[in-house]
Amino acid sequence: MSFRDFLAECEKANLVRHVKEEKDPNLEIPKILSENAGQILQFEKVKGSSMPVVAGVCSKREYFAKAIGCEKNNLIQKISNAIANPTKPKVVETGACQEVVDENPDLSKIPILTHTSKDLGAYVTSGVYASKNKAGRLNIAYHRSSPIAKDKFVARICHRDTWKNLEENGGELDVAICLGLDPTVLLAASVSAGDTCEYDIANTLKPLELVKCKTSDLLVPAEAEIVIEATLTSKERHEEGPFADITGTLDSIRQEPVVKVKCITHRKNPIYQALLPASNEHRLLMGCLLYTSPS
């Protein structure tokens, strides 16, 4: 199931609220999201962009259960089983995520949200980075990214797998930033499971197809809405922050690696998935799914 297939299932269950009036990705949409916690919202008309914005798809356990196809009370068992029994996804020749290939990328065309007036600027918060280590092991993980030019981000890269891959590769690393993914993949990307590839966990939760990138040999979900193919470099740095972390407090300003965009591929009429930082959606994905009070 793709992100839009999941949305269609949620539509049938009357779980999606459509906002039809034009809304601004600069502060206005995040404010509406904050005021409607736990709801899946689709903004049909977004100022400055032809793409709709959808958020809230991971803001309740019920949504994860719906994506996996189980009862909410069985989530822990399903996730534990997937971690213990990872399976390899099918690799396909072509994918919907490459219906359109833009070799002259312009990040301003994407309706990236600016969440508060104190932030560095607009931030991609739902971006799942794919990268590989020297041995060829794939890893996917979340990293927030803020545009600093039409074809550059600065990214907060925590000192975990992506950082290790970057250092191992001499400070320059092929990455693919995937946007608009089924909640099973979003959930798997938040899991730390040693040497197990998170794609394999996602595939056990629900069959997943991967496709090779256009500019590297990285594999990405074939039905992603948007894939940003890029080079992550620690040889070029830029100020990153302030920005709210999971606690809602502002992170300090750091010098972080730059992401140089090579091309952007996407589905026809792509949907941009946003994720409200320091929200229940953020907390559920970042490790509290199993431990916080029911929601």
**Catalytic residue numbers?**
245
User: Cα(35)–Cα(210) distance, rounded to whole angstroms?
Assistant: 36
User: Cα(130)–Cα(177) distance, rounded to whole angstroms?
Assistant: 6
CA torsion through residues 222, 225, 228, 234, sign: negative
DSSP conformation class of 89: P
User: Cα(35)–Cα(82) distance, rounded to whole angstroms?
Assistant: 34
Is 46:71 a contact under the CB 8 Å cutoff? no
Count of other CB atoms within 10 angstroms of residue 28: 16
In this structure, the chain runs to a length of: 295
Lookup: tokens for 97: 């995520």
Strand, coil or helix: 78: helix
DSSP conformation class of 158: -
What are the b/e assignments for 216-244, b being 16+ CB within 10 Å?
bebbbbbbbbbbbbbbbbbeeebebbebb
| Cα Rg of the chain (Å, integer) | 18
Strand, coil or helix: 68: helix
